[in-house]
A and B are shown apart, each in its own frame.
Chain A
C-alpha cells in the first residue's frame, strides 16, 4: 500500500537515502510526551510501529486528541517553518518505535542542497496539505443528520 504522504512515496530514492542517513532509531514507552505546544521544534519523527497522537492544550481540561499517526507517518512539521515552535502536543499512546531526526541538521542539508531542500519541502508540504484537507472534511461534521454540518 502506498500513500502520497509517506516518505517512500513522496521522496525520490536518492533524497530518501540521504535523509535516512540522518535518522536515529528510537523507542518510546506508552505515555511518553514527544513534544509540547509552544516549545522549540528541534526534532521530528517517522513512526515505524505504534501510535502517536496529537493533542491541543485546553486550559483546565485534559488535552483533547485531534489526530492519530501510525506507521510511516511524519510526526511534526513545525521544525520546517519559522519560528520552529510546536503548534500541538504529541504523545505515544502505545509503545512506539520511530526514526528520529535532528531538525537543525536536516535544515542545514536543505540549505546546502537546493534540490534536496525542495524535495523535503514538497514532502512536508504534501503532509500539511493532506492533513488540512482531512481537517476541512471533518469540519463538515459529515456524520451529522443529512451530513450537512447544519
Chain B
C-alpha cells in the first residue's frame, strides 16, 4: 500500500454501457502497487480533477481493471480517458471478499448494477478453483438490458458448466429482451444452495443489498455468512479522515466488505 499515487497508463478502454467504461491500467515504470485481492479498491486519481475509490474489477498479472460509471466530475474525467492517458493509483485498500473462507461451501453471488464489477474477480477466482467450493450461483440485476455490464462475459457464464445457476434480470424490459424481468431477489427462488452451508456475496445499491440479505436470512443463511460491500464517501482511504465512517466502522479500512451481522444494524437506523 502506498500513500502517494503511482503513475499508471491506460492501455485499453472497454466501453461497457452508455455511461460506464472499464480502464485497463498498467504501471508506467518498475514501481507497482501490491497485489489486489477481489473486493479491495484503489484510489484512482484523475490528474487535475480529483480522486475516487474504485474497486478492482479484474486482476491480471500485469494489469489492473477498474470499471467506472460516469456519475460525477472525477468519474466523468476518468471515463473520458483514452489509451495512453495517465492516472494515479493508490492501494490496495480495504477488506476483500475473502473467498478462501468459504471453502467447501455453496457460493451465492448477487450483483446489482455496477455492483457486478467488484464481484467479477471473485467469480473468476471461484471458477479457477472450482473444486474448492460447492455449487456456484450468480444472480445479476440491472436497470435495463442496455445497462448490463460485461454482457459478453455474462453470456459465457450463463452456459458455463462451473456455474450451477447464472441468471440475469432487469427492472425494465426493452424490445429484443427475452430474459427475466423483475427484482433481483426474485431470482433467489431459482438458485440452488444449502442455506446452512452457503456464503453469499452481495454488491449493489444498498436498498438491493438490504432486500436480498433479509430474504437470505429468512431462507436460513446466517448473517455472518452474508458478505456485503458498502460504499461511502472515501477520501484518505487509510482510516484517518473519517469521511467514510458508518457508525463505528471506517469503511475504507474496516470495509468495504463486511458481514451482514455488522451491516444490518448500521443500515437499519434512519440516520447515523
Contacts and interface: CB of A to CB of B under 8 A. Distances in A.
A50 interface: no
A73 to B, nearest CB: 7
B173 A65 contact: yes
A51 B180 contact: yes
Contacts of B112: 142-143
A112 interface: no
A91 B113 CA distance: 27
Given A1-B189, A143-B113, A147-B206, A68 B143 contact: no
Contact of A145 (B71, B191, B204, B208): B71
Max chain B CB contacts within 10 Å: which of A62, A65, A143, A147?
A143
Given A3-B188, A3-B189, A145-B69, A138 B183 contact: yes
B169 interface: yes
B88 interface: no
B261 interface: no
Interface residues of B, number: 37
Contacts of B114: 143
Contacts of A3: 188-189, 219
A93 B180 CA distance: 10
**What is the size category of the interface that chain A forms with chain B?**
20 to 34
B196 interface: no
Interface in A1-51: 1-4, 6, 51
Q: Is the contact region of chain B dominated by helix, strand, or loop, or is it mixed?
A: mixed
A143 B189 contact: no
A53 B177 CA distance: 12
A3 B206 CA distance: 22
Given A68-B169, A93-B178, A142-B207, A1 B188 contact: yes
Max chain A CB contacts within 10 Å: which of B147, B182, B219?
B182
A72 interface: yes
Contacts of B8: none
A93 B211 CA distance: 27
Interface in A100-148: 134, 137-138, 140-147
Contacts of A70: 180, 189-190
B207 A73 contact: no
Contacts of B3: none
Interface string A60-81: 0010111110111100000000
A53 B69 CA distance: 31
Given A6-B189, A144-B143, A147-B205, A134 B173 contact: no
B218 A137 contact: no
A134 B185 contact: yes
A29 B179 CA distance: 17
Max chain B CB contacts within 10 Å: which of A1, A51, A64?
A1
A68 B208 CA distance: 18
A1 B173 contact: no
B181 A65 contact: yes
Interface in B85-119: 112-114
Nearest to A5: B189
Interface in B136-192: 141-143, 147, 169, 171-173, 175, 177-183, 185-186, 188-192
Interface of A: 1-4, 6, 51, 53, 62, 64-68, 70-73, 93, 134, 137-138, 140-147
Given A142-B112, A143-B171, 16 more contacts: A1-B192, A2-B219, A62-B175, A64-B172, A65-B181, A68-B186, A71-B189, A72-B189, A93-B178, A134-B185, A138-B183, A141-B171, A143-B113, A143-B114, A145-B71, A147-B206
19 contacts: A1-B191, A3-B188, A3-B219, A4-B218, A53-B181, A62-B175, A64-B172, A64-B173, A67-B182, A68-B186, A71-B189, A134-B182, A138-B182, A141-B171, A142-B207, A142-B208, A143-B114, A144-B143, A145-B69
